[in-house]
Structure 1
Amino acid sequence: METPLVRDVMIPVSEYVVIEEGGVLADAFMALEQHCREKGTGKPHRDVLVTRGGMVVAKLTMLDVFKSLEPKYEHVDPERYQGRTLTSDLVNRLIRDFGLWSDPTASLCVKAGSCKITDIMHVPEQSEYVEESDTVEHALHRYILGVHQPLLVRKEGKVTGVLRLGDVFDYLRTKITECAAG
């Protein structure tokens, strides 16, 4: 099996959902819906790239969205629970103690309409970028070490694509089954 490169597996920016940073969360959802209608896919991208002046500057992931819809997560210190088993009792205690998800679901529309993209977008750290010419193994190593998904792909300093863990898995699964089939 040849050594796969990130550019062989990534999704180009042109195929991704992109929004300008000046909008609100509801705008991101509408862009995702429009993308799904235009592409006719049953499984749309669930993350959004955020641009400023045409340049990708951030990403908005499902986790970012969920945290924005329940802002009380800001008071929960994830480091305190890292390495601990999240038993049902512990999760229930956290929900109760911090009042998580106590607002009715109906209030989500109001939150989505007022939640600014700039307040919830994730500006990637250097460890969340890979180069088009990097090997897939290099990118996989970053995932295993726990970077915020997905990875952004660059060429000559410009973001050119997105590398999702699921796409890496599918690529490797396909290659391995081809080898196994002979």
Structure 2
Amino acid sequence: MKTYKIEDLMVPLSEYATVTIGATLFEAILALETAQGEFDQTRYRHRAILVLNKAGEVVGKISQHTALKALEPQYQKMAAESSAAHYGFSVSFLKDLQEQYSLLDGALENICQKAAHTRVEDFMSRLGEGEFIEADASLNKAIHMLVMGHFQSLLVRKQGILIGVLRLTDVFAAVFHVMKSCN
């Protein structure tokens, strides 16, 4: 049975989509498109953009989910008011919320303007310590962190330096490969 290492599964930082603080949502989406086009087409495509500060350090992440939320400022306000807003609400209640707050009214009509004026630091997810894993950690630890943290990816460090991104899709593919080899 093959042994997988975090470094073998991760995407090197140099191959990942990045933007710096001050970039717009539009610039972030272009960076993602460029990274996807240059990435190994036999692997799953990138689904996130890393945000760097002026010193080149990763300070945040933008997922596809986060980018869509950025189109409607009310989503940020609602999330701040109720951190449990996504737990257990009915479809009809969520529809009522959309209508009551006029969520996304005109979002597609104004998408170019919003994308050009919305700065990444205003909506990016800030990184928590639980989103980092050491390059020499076990795959078991990575699985535990991804599952318990509900993360789509972990940032990989080696001797304190960020070297890559370990994505849930790549970990799943490795686990699936092990399952197939059992038969």
Report the TM-score, using the length of structure 1 for normalisation: 0.86
CA spacing shift, 1:104–1:61, aligned 2, 3 Å: closer
Aligned residue type for 1:176? M
Query: How far 1:22 sits from its partner (Å)?
Result: 2.4
Map of 1:76-95 to 2, 5 A cutoff? 76=78, 77-81=81-85, 83-84=87-88, 86-95=89-98
Cα distance between partner residues in 2 of 1:148 and 1:121: 15
Query: How far 1:168 sits from its partner (Å)?
Result: 0.9
Cα distance between partner residues in 1 of 2:28 and 2:85: 31
Query: Residues 137-164 of structure 1, C-alpha deviation per residue, up to 9 Å, x if partnerless?
Result: 2121122223443211111122111111
CA spacing shift, 1:166–1:78, aligned 2, 3 Å: farther
Map of 1:132-143 to 2, 5 A cutoff? 132-143=135-146
Report the TM-score, using the length of structure 2 for normalisation: 0.86
Counting matched residue pairs gives 179
Q: 1:67 aligned to 2:69?
A: yes
Between 135-144 and 124-133, report the one with greater CA deviation.
Answer: 135-144
Cα distance between partner residues in 1 of 2:140 and 2:167: 13
CA spacing shift, 1:79–1:120, aligned 2, 3 Å: closer
> Segments of 4+ in structure 1 off by > 6 A?
none
Between 14-23 and 40-49, report the one with greater CA deviation.
Answer: 40-49
Map of 1:1-182 to 2, 5 A cutoff? 1=1, 3-39=3-39, 41=41, 44-52=45-53, 53-76=55-78, 77-81=81-85, 83-84=87-88, 86-180=89-183
RMSD of aligned alpha carbons: 2.2
2:18–2:49 CA contact under 8 A, matched in 1:
yes
Query: Residues 62-95 of structure 1, C-alpha deviation per residue, up to 9 Å, x if partnerless?
Result: 12211111110123244344541x4321221221
Aligned residue type for 1:139? A
Query: How far 1:171 sits from its partner (Å)?
Result: 0.8
Cα distance between partner residues in 2 of 1:115 and 1:163: 28
Percent of pairs identical after alignment?
31
> Structure 2 stretches of 5 or more lacking a match?
none
> Structure 1 stretches of 5 or more lacking a match?
none
Query: How far 1:30 sits from its partner (Å)?
Result: 1.5
Cα distance between partner residues in 2 of 1:162 and 1:24: 22
